[in-house]
Amino acid sequence: MSAAAGGPGGLPKGLPDGLPAARSQFEQTLEGFRVQGRVIHALLLRELQTRFGRGHLGFLWLFLEPLLLASAIGLLKSLLSPGGTGTVPTFLFVVVGYAPYFAFRAIINRATTAFQANMTLMYHRQVRLLDIMLARNLLEMAAVTCVLLLVIAGTSWITGFAPHNLPTMVFGLLLLFGFANGLALLVAAGAARWEVVDRIVHPVTYISLPFSGALFALHYMPRHFRELLLWNPQVHVHEMMRDGMFGDLIPAYYNVPYLLGWVLVLNLLGMAAVRAVRTRLEF
């Protein structure tokens, strides 16, 4: 009876008419993603031109700065601690820790001026505040990822020391990006609302280095210090990176669900803060 009362093939009436509308909605959503992808790509190119277009080495400084800093710290640590950390090369240990921290610090510090430096772009309907932040942050992460690839490939070629689990390292970098992106959204919104945020953020990122886990492994820390440091989500990122690089050579301590929770909460709060502060910005 229901089949007779329905449309062709026994389908309920109205369903075939709804399918084109559903496909149209899907195509509109897909086209929206394509537009935002083109916007972010254009913002990336603009950021490169603005920051490095007139320099002698151009955009190469984007990669040379973290490479030189991480290498200098790694060499210094190697000279001061010639014994290293067991079977792990000291230079590689330091670079794998400091390079991601460099990206984290750069993302947070540059967030304070992100909106003011790109205010004129907001006259374009397709450009959103989130696009500006995402383009800047992707640029920093891309630079540090290239530095890590270069150092790891060079070390593997010279010493034969290859990463233990490359997917773990990649996942750790993605979590680092998510964590830093969420904090950067909050910092950018705070700096747009209160000028004092710009002055506080920079020293705080430098002070946080000794507590970030970038230059030490929890395995060598006393248990009570280890338990305290594990409250810091950034420590989990660096432990995860070292686990992917060195494996069982340095036992790692990290909790992926705990870190994912921080990433999710920070990004949700950051997006809400950016949306709230938008009305206070003068375009």
Our CA dihedral for 168, 171, 173, 174, rounded to 10 degrees, sits at: 180
pLDDT tens per residue, range 117-134: 666 666 666 667 777 788
Alpha-helical regions (H) of the chain = 2-5, 15-52, 61-80, 90-111, 114-117, 129-159, 166-193, 196-207, 223-229, 233-246, 256-277
Q: What is the pLDDT, as a whole number, of residue 122?
A: 63
pLDDT tens per residue, range 209-227: 888 888 888 988 888 999 9
Query: Residue 52 and residue 47: Cα distance in Å, rounded?
Result: 8
pLDDT tens per residue, range 244-265: 988 888 888 999 999 999 999 9
Task: Report helix, strand or coil for 85.
Answer: strand
Average pLDDT over residues 37-49: 73
Query: Residue 175 and residue 198: Cα distance in Å, rounded?
Result: 25
pLDDT tens per residue, range 163-174: 888 899 999 989
Indicate the pTM of the whole model: 0.79
Q: List phi, psi (to 5°) of 80.
A: -75, -30
Q: Which amino acid is at 108?
A: I
Confidence of residue 82 (pLDDT cuts 50, 70, 90): low
